[in-house]
Amino acid sequence: MKNLPVIGLIPAGGKATRISPLPLSKELYPVGFRGDVDDIKKNNQNNRARLRPKVVSHYLLEKMQLAGIDKAYFILRPGKWDIPAYFGDGEMLAMNLGYLIMGLPYGVPFTLDSAYPFVKDAVIALGFPDILFEPKDAFIQILKRLKASKADVVLGLFPTDKPQKAGMVDFDDTGKVISIIEKPFQSDLRFMWGIAVWKPEFTEFLHEYLIAVKEDINLLNLPEIPIGNVIQAAINQGLQVEAEAFRNGSYLDIGTPDDLIKAVRGFGDGFE
């Protein structure tokens, strides 16, 4: 992993059905402000003029950039051209941003695999553009673990009391992931995974896994496959998956109405 570049992958193929209709892609939903947020509270009119709305995916890109990730691809559903129109080449964040078009619309694994020819020899940092999470150095921590361990994949875990909305993770005291359970109705597990980094070995596993799926299943009747299912399949095949649990962390999905309300209220008051 010493000389491998780290590339961010940002799946943006969703339709935002839970909060539709929207006049823009949900990844560009304004949540908070760019600039000196403290000036809002001080009511400093001169400085307030320099504040600009901050879209939800900006927070993810900032956290990637903080970890030294200077290149990332948004993977788009056709029609979501407002995202490249807004971020452009990434100069706003001092990053190099590119845009790829998703292939088959059967879930995040297929969306990510659209980037395979461009990223197969890189370390991947996966983040979801409609999610607000803490801590700010989360990618720094999981990349550090990936480099220091023999893991093929490292998951960033966040506490949750809503297992029915998440991929819940069972892991041991050393951080080794035992299993991932997608959206159980109820669970004794306390942590969900929300971000991930992985080596080329998992990128290759994902690619080969989906080739087999496409050969064996009638895609017209295929339900969406969660990426957690593919990670679980990798565990079953002997790949090593580890977890970094952010026990005091937070995770907010603005793609659901209740969490969108929390985000607008919290970040609107200058919380970051």
| Per-residue model confidence as pLDDT tens digits over 11-42 | 998 776 777 788 899 999 999 888 755 555 55
pTM here is 0.91
pLDDT score of 142: 98
Mean pLDDT, the chain, rounded, equals: 90
Could you say which architecture CATH assigns to the domain 6-268?
Alpha-Beta Complex (3.90)
pLDDT score of 270: 47
pLDDT score of 42: 57
What are the residue ranges in the chain where pLDDT is below 70?
A: 1-2, 16, 36-49, 217-221, 268-272
| Number of C-beta neighbours around residue 80 at 10 A | 22
pLDDT score of 271: 40
pLDDT score of 18: 77
- Cis peptide bond prior to 30, omega within 30° of 0: no
pLDDT score of 217: 67
pLDDT score of 125: 98
